[in-house]
């Protein structure tokens, strides 16, 4: 009986061994597919626990416990190695030891190793009388568990490796500490802090401006540019250069490193976008933003062959800006040749010939110096105070807001001999600042960099293409004050021939409705049509025709200020020197020529001529759409260099110069770069009670509050801003 029980117990053990092996392999394969299932160890333990007869069954032996332990070890070995069957390849321990990285980093070949595990227990099956050998075979995989765990720190040597030279390592350590904890002490902008962390982190925090405590060539270039900031109309005090010579410790070198980087950021940002945001000056300025990317600045400057030139490239690239920069150096006495000053002497006056007197030309030895000072290169050595010199003096007087008499008196001499920080220099400085607001690319490349540029104080408009002036004309601009022409950059999308004038709400409610109270027939006599909408608002328009306030052509570049360029029936104002008379729009002297020039740029194959444009004049609106819009840049240049190389000054008609000079001299540092919110233009049309006797074109019809807004009526649908009004004639689109 005992022998029977013994044989039965041995048989049970063999069965349990086979079952445990089968369950272990099955669990391993299942675990590789589904991590949520029970581990192989749990399944093996359940299978390995003996279920004996109620009596005369010996307790489990040590061998039985080893069997369960093997399954547990196999499962635990799986977790650090992320491979449930990795350990079972361990019967060749020499391979595991020579290639520890394979154990830690190669989880892919799981299936083949599972097959190996399946064949190993098959060898133990014939040895039914030696379960201990089977146990040993299954325990063996526990050996590589330690190498697998030990393989994890194998990445440490790579992490510890550093490309930082030993001499710079202390500075790199300090930079790491500062950037990690105190970056805001040097950089108050989030994008700059992020750029610093990324840039220095990628180079193990090695300094870029010093090597072994000595300045690099890049640092020397950046420092040279910062110290020469005044030549670009900037203030060097805004870009302090740290004293690297006095920085002898890792702490001071790291601090100087970040201070120079911060000054470089400030210079690049202000050179590109300006020391003050345009919204600081007025609410009627709108230019596209073009901020710098600090990461791009770091990459560009630190990899450039010439760091000074790379940093200088953030200044405006336009020719007119560079010409102003050269003139600024001359005004400061830094240009070629000595500074010219006019000596004291009697007043000089030129008298033209009249009916009863001959021309009077005064001779004076100061005139050659005066000619040079005013940029008159013709007859430079002529000592006669003739009509040419007198006209140049008159223009100078007008530019500095003196009475333009043309007489060279003591006051005019003092104005011409102004000191270095005089009004002329200030005027050049603020004009250079305004160039920073403009887009870097004024034109459109697909049209040969074509663009329109209008200068308000000079009352001129120019069409440019391929860097050359294609055409120019005189313009009339807005009156100073609430009707000032806004500064903006937009794109001209089409031209309207025979436009309808939809009177702006400001003119309707501020001028025409009050006039109706005095004379109910005034609008009829002016050829204007009044409509009252269902909501009680009033719309006034003027049909196309020769007497239309917009003339025969309107040039459309939709914008939030609702301004545009157009023809005018009143041509007499173009003969005046000061031409600020409009309500904000720009009147063009020769619109038919202007239209043909633009159409030939936009559609060169159409061969437009002024005559062809005029042949379209009639009573129906015709829109000529541009396949590619042409940029329009409305600028305010009170100082510029003319085609002859002479520095010209114009009257500060809107007071923009005075405002900017005051801001720069009494400003708040970097606060000037902040955007100032201004109230937006209002196009509302309140309900109005019309006086008796007023002719209403639609007799109470028209559009209600859901009709097209004024912007749509003016420029075509759909675009911003609000204000419901009616929309009149159907447009005819043609090419």
> Would you list the DSSP string of 490-549?
EEEEEEEES--EE--HHHIIIIIHHHHHH-TTHHHHTT-EEEE-TTS-EEEEE-SSTT-T
Closest to 408 (Cα-Cα) out of 383, 391, 421: 391
Q: What is the pLDDT of residue 12?
A: 64
Task: Find the angle CA(589)-CA(643)-CA(413) to the nearest 5 degrees.
Answer: 100
Q: Which residue in the block uniquely carries the two structure tokens 């002479």?
A: 646
Q: How far apart are CA 388 and CA 59, in angstroms?
A: 127
Q: How far apart are CA 13 and CA 265, in angstroms?
A: 78
Residues of the chain with pLDDT under 50: 1-2, 4-5, 30-32, 34-38, 41, 48, 52-57, 62-151, 154-159, 420, 699-707, 710-711, 717-735
Which ranges constitute the DSSP H helices of 417-499?
423-437
Q: What is the pLDDT of residue 313?
A: 97
Q: Which long-range contacts (CB under 8 A, 24 or more apart) does 707-713 make?
A: 707/533, 709/683, 710/502, 710/504, 710/505, 710/562, 710/683, 710/685, 711/558, 711/562, 711/683, 713/502
Q: At what angle do helices 217-227 and 294-303 cross, to 10 degrees?
A: 120
Q: What are the percentages of helix, strand and coil residues in the chain, rounded to 5?
A: 45, 15, 40
Q: Six-digit token pair at 454?
A: 């209008």
Phi, psi at 406, each rounded to 5°: 80, 5
Pairing of strands 529-532, 538-542: antiparallel
Q: What is the DSSP letter of 627?
A: E
In this structure, is the dihedral angle defined by the CA atoms of residues 648, 654, 658 and 664, taken in order, positive or negative? Answer: negative
Q: Say if CB 366 and CB 342 are below 8 A apart.
A: yes
Q: Which residue in the block uniquely carries the two structure tokens 């901020």?
A: 291
Q: Say if CB 626 and CB 492 are below 8 A apart.
A: yes
Q: What is the DSSP letter of 444?
A: B
Q: How far apart are CA 431 and CA 434, in angstroms?
A: 5
- The percent of residues above 90 in pLDDT, for the chain, comes to 54
- Sequence-ordered list of residues with C-beta below 8 angstroms from that of 21, at least 6 positions apart, any chain: 121, 124, 134, 138
Phi, psi at 691, each rounded to 5°: -70, 155
- Sequence-ordered list of residues with C-beta below 8 angstroms from that of 356, at least 6 positions apart, any chain: none
Task: Find the angle CA(364)-CA(365)-CA(368) to the nearest 5 degrees.
Answer: 105
Q: How far apart are CA 565 and CA 496, in angstroms?
A: 11
Q: What is the pLDDT of residue 695?
A: 76
Q: Say if CB 197 and CB 258 are below 8 A apart.
A: no
Measure CA 112 to chain center: 57
Predicted TM-score (pTM) of this structure: 0.66
Q: How far apart are CA 341 and CA 303, in angstroms?
A: 46
Measure CA 164 to chain center: 34
Q: Six-digit token pair at 42?
A: 């749990």
**Consecutive H or E run containing 225:** helix 217-227
Q: How far apart are CA 534 and CA 687, in angstroms?
A: 9
Helix (H, G, I), strand (E, B) or coil at 135: helix
Helix (H, G, I), strand (E, B) or coil at 642: coil
Cis geometry, peptide bond prior to residue 718 (ω within 30 degrees of 0) = yes
Q: How far apart are CA 327 and CA 637, in angstroms?
A: 14
Q: How far apart are CA 447 and CA 385, in angstroms?
A: 47
Q: How far apart are CA 569 and CA 526, in angstroms?
A: 13
- Sequence-ordered list of residues with C-beta below 8 angstroms from that of 706, at least 6 positions apart, any chain: 724
Q: Say if CB 460 and CB 586 are below 8 A apart.
A: no
Q: Six-digit token pair at 724?
A: 């419901």
How many other CB atoms sit within 10 Å of the CB of residue 514?
Answer: 9
Closest to 428 (Cα-Cα) out of 531, 356, 520, 321: 321
Q: What is the pLDDT of residue 627?
A: 97
> What is the per-residue burial (b if ≥16 Cβ within 10 Å, else e) of 381-414?
eeebbbebbbebbbbbbbbbeeebebbbbeebbe
Q: Say if CB 710 and CB 504 are below 8 A apart.
A: yes
Q: Is 205 exposed, middle or buried (0-12, 13-18, 19+ CB in 10 A)?
A: buried
Q: What is the DSSP letter of 351?
A: B
Closest to 39 (Cα-Cα) out of 98, 79, 89: 79
């Amino acid at each position: 009986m005992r022998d029977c029980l013994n044989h039965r117990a041995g048989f049970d053990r063999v069965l349990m061994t086979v079952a445990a092996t089968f369950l272990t392999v099955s669990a391993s394969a299942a675990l590789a597919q589904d991590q949520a299932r029970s581990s192989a160890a749990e399944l093996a333990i359940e299978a390995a626990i003996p279920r004996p007869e109620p009596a005369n069954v010996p307790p489990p032996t040590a061998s039985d416990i080893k069997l369960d332990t093997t399954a547990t070890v196999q499962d635990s070995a799986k977790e650090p190695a992320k491979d449930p069957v990795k350990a079972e390849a361990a019967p060749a321990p020499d391979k595991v030891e020579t290639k520890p990285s394979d154990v830690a980093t190669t989880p892919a070949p799981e299936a083949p190793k599972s097959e190996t595990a399946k064949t190993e227990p098959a060898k133990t099956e014939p040895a039914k009388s030696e379960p201990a050998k089977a146990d040993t075979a299954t325990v063996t995989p526990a050996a590589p568990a330690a190498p697998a765990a030990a393989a994890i720190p194998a990445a440490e040597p790579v992490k510890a490796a550093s490309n930082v030279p030993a001499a710079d390592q202390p500075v790199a350590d300090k930079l790491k500490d500062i950037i990690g904890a105190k970056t805001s002490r040097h950089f108050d902008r989030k994008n700059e802090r992020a750029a610093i962390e990324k840039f220095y982190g990628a180079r193990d925090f090695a300094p870029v401006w010093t090597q072994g405590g000595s300045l690099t060539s890049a640092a020397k270039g950046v420092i040279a540019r910062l110290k020469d900031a005044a030549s670009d109309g900037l203030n060097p005090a805004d870009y302090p250069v740290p004293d690297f010579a006095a920085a002898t410790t890792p702490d001071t070198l790291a601090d100087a490193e970040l201070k120079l980087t911060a000054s470089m950021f400030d210079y690049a940002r202000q050179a590109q976008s300006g020391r003050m945001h345009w919204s600081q000056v007025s609410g009627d300025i709108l230019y596209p933003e073009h901020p710098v990317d600090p990461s791009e600045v770091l990459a560009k400057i630190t990899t450039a062959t010439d760091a000074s030139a790379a940093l200088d490239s953030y200044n405006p690239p336009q020719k007119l800006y560079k010409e102003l920069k050269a003139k600024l150096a001359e005004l400061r006495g830094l240009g070629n040749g000595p500074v010219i000053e006019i000596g004291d002497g009697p007043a000089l006056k030129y008298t033209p010939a009249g009916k009863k007197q001959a021309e009077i030309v005064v001779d004076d030895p100061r005139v050659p110096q005066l000619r040079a000072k005013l940029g008159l290169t013709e007859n430079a050595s002529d000592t006669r105070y003739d009509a040419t010199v007198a006209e140049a003096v008159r223009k100078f007087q007008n530019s500095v807001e003196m009475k333009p008499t043309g007489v060279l008196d003591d006051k005019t001499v003092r104005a011409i001999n102004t000191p270095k920080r005089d009004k002329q220099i200030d005027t050049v400085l603020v004009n250079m600042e305004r160039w920073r607001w403009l887009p870097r690319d004024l034109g459109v490349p697909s049209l040969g960099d074509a663009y329109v540029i209008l200068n308000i104080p000079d009352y001129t408009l120019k069409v440019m293409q391929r860097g050359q002036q294609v055409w120019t004309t005189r313009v009339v601009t807005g009156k100073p004050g609430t009707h000032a022409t806004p500064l903006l950059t937009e794109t001209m999308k089409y031209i309207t021939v025979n436009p309808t004038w939809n009177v702006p709400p400001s003119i309707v409610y501020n001028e025409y409705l009050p006039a109706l109270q005095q004379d109910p027939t005034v609008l009829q006599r002016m050829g204007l049509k009044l409509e009252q909408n269902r909501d009680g608002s009033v719309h006034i328009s003027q049909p196309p025709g020769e007497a239309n306030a917009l003339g025969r052509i309107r040039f459309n570049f939709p914008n939030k200020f609702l301004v545009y360029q157009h023809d005018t029936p009143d041509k007499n104002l173009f003969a005046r020197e000061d031409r600020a008379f409009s309500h904000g729009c720009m009147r063009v002297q020769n619109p038919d020529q202007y239209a043909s020039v633009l159409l030939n740029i936009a559609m060169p194959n159409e061969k437009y001529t002024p005559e062809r444009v005029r042949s379209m004049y009639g009573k129906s609106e015709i829109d000529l759409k541009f396949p590619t819009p042409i940029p329009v840049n409305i600028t305010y240049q009170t100082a510029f260099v003319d085609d002859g190389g002479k520095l010209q000054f114009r009257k500060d008609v809107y007071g923009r110069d005075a405002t900017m000079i005051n801001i720069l001299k009494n400003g708040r540092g970097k606060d000037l770069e902040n955007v100032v919110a201004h109230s937006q233009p209002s196009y509302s049309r309140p309900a109005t009670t019309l006086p008796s006797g007023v002719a209403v074109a639609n007799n109470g019809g028209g559009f209600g509050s859901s009709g097209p807004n004024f912007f749509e009526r003016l420029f075509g649908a759909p675009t911003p801003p609000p204000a419901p009004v009616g929309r009149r004639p159907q447009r005819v689109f043609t090419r």
